[in-house]
């Protein structure tokens, strides 16, 4: 008994059907690595500052509500 392989090409292990192939890996220079790290940290800080603004506004509203409840 012989086994026949299908004529369709198989996707590499871990690849999802329908997705485009990954770009080839390009080695980065140490300068590019540091610049990428700086950009990632800068984006993270901006995101956290925005979350902090939202939390401060929420805290302010709750403290205003507490003052209102304590005054009655």
Structural tokens at position 33: 């690595």
Q: Compute the CA torsion angle 14, 15, 17, 21 (nearest 10 deg).
A: 180
Number of residues written out for the chain: 72
Q: What is the pTM of this model?
A: 0.57
7-58: per-residue pLDDT in tens?
Answer: 655 655 655 566 788 889 899 999 999 999 999 999 999 999 999 999 999 9
Region of 54 on the Ramachandran plot (φ > 0 left; ψ -120 to 50 alpha; else beta): alpha
């Amino acid at each position: 008994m012989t086994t026949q392989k299908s004529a369709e090409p198989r996707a590499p292990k871990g690849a999802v059907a329908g997705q485009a192939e990954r770009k080839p890996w390009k080695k980065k220079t140490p300068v590019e690595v540091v610049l990428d790290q700086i950009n990632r940290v800068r984006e993270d800080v901006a995101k956290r500052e925005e979350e902090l603004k939202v939390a401060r506004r929420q805290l302010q509203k709750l403290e205003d509500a507490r003052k209102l409840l304590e005054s009655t």
